Structure 1
Amino acid sequence: MLRYFLENHLINISQKHPKDWQEAIRISGEIMKKNNLVTDKYIDQVIADVKQYGPYIVIVPGVAMPHSQANSSEVLGTGIGLTIFPEAVSFDPNDSEKDAQLFFMLAAKDNPTHMKNIANLSNLLMEDDMIEDLRKVKNLQDYQKVMQKHDKSKEKSR
């Protein structure tokens, strides 16, 4: 899946630390907009959902999965974008478990595809050291090293 982000131009290694989680979601949405997968209104809906329901998009410490409902009219295509920030972004100042540095934004035209994307992403994140390796990425060369490392570890496990 790491190759998917690279080959589809759906990776953003941000050098800028966002001022808050709303800005982080907007920045993570830029790569999706650039690839004609979502509109600004979709990104606004993701932010509104987090305001309404809390930071449910932080799926494990360090990782956020910004998304809104599948089949939204503001979803133009199906895909997942990865944005890596230089430091973790706080969603709740009283709970560091709700900080995220890796933002995987999801967009899907239908529910089955949405669920498949979530499953694929979950499998990726369960690989040994994946989250920690991605959190250390500062540039494209670092990302490619992580990709090579995890490709090799998959080959060994076969």
Structure 2
Amino acid sequence: MVQHPRLAQAKRKVTDWRHALDTALTPLYEAGYTRMEYCRGVVDNTLEWGPYYLVAPGVALPHARPEQGALANGIAVTTLEEPVCFGHDECDPVWLLFALCATNANAHLETIQRISSLLGDQAMLAQLRDARTDGQLLELLNARGHGEK
């Protein structure tokens, strides 16, 4: 699921939802999947429409439209040391962020389907939450990804 070690971040410390977005989306920029303005696009979209990317209790899939700076299809996974609130009654507080970027709708849907299957696996979610290091998180995600094929 995660193709580069820098795209898995375990137990990051953030102060609020904006910091969480910046922390979760920065690896996509640093790995060349997005332009710098992609993160700004997610924040701007959030301010306009609310946290549209909160999909389950504790889980966010922050993303923007392809034209807001997506260069390639990618995903970065971040867990938070302490969950933060985004202003969503059903999903707050958030501890797991799947930051994604897609250059087209088909790639976006495929990624969301893979994430949805992971969200149905409570044991895997517990393991992700317990991962203490980036390496442990990456290993769990990639073991899950290879097991699905």
TM band (smaller chain): 0.7 to 0.9
> What pairs with 1:125-136 in structure 2 (closer than 5 Å)?
125-136=119-130
Quick check: 2:9–2:134 contact (8 Å CA) kept in 1? no
Could you say which structure has the larger radius of gyration?
1
Q: Secondary structure at the match of 2:91?
A: helix
Distance 2:113 2:16 in 1: 28
Quick check: 2:71–2:103 contact (8 Å CA) kept in 1? yes
Question: Match for 1:90 among 63, 85, 90?
Answer: 85
Q: Which residue of 2 aligns with 1:48?
A: 44
List runs of 5+ in structure 1 lacking aligned partners. Answer: none
Q: TM-score, normalised by structure 1?
A: 0.80
The Cα of 1:8 is off from its aligned counterpart by: 2.2
Question: Match for 1:65 among 57, 61, 74?
Answer: 61
List runs of 5+ in structure 2 lacking aligned partners. Answer: none
Answer 1 or 2: higher relative contact order, Cα 8 Å, separation at least 6. 2
Distance 1:18 1:42 in 2: 19
- What is the CA RMSD across the aligned residues, in angstroms? 2.5
The Cα of 1:150 is off from its aligned counterpart by: 5.5
Q: TM-score, normalised by structure 2?
A: 0.84
Q: Which residue of 1 aligns with 2:76?
A: 81
The Cα of 1:143 is off from its aligned counterpart by: 2.7
Q: Which residue of 2 aligns with 1:118?
A: 112
Work out the number of aligned pairs and report it: 146
Question: Is structure 2 residue 21 aligned with structure 1 residue 22?
Answer: no
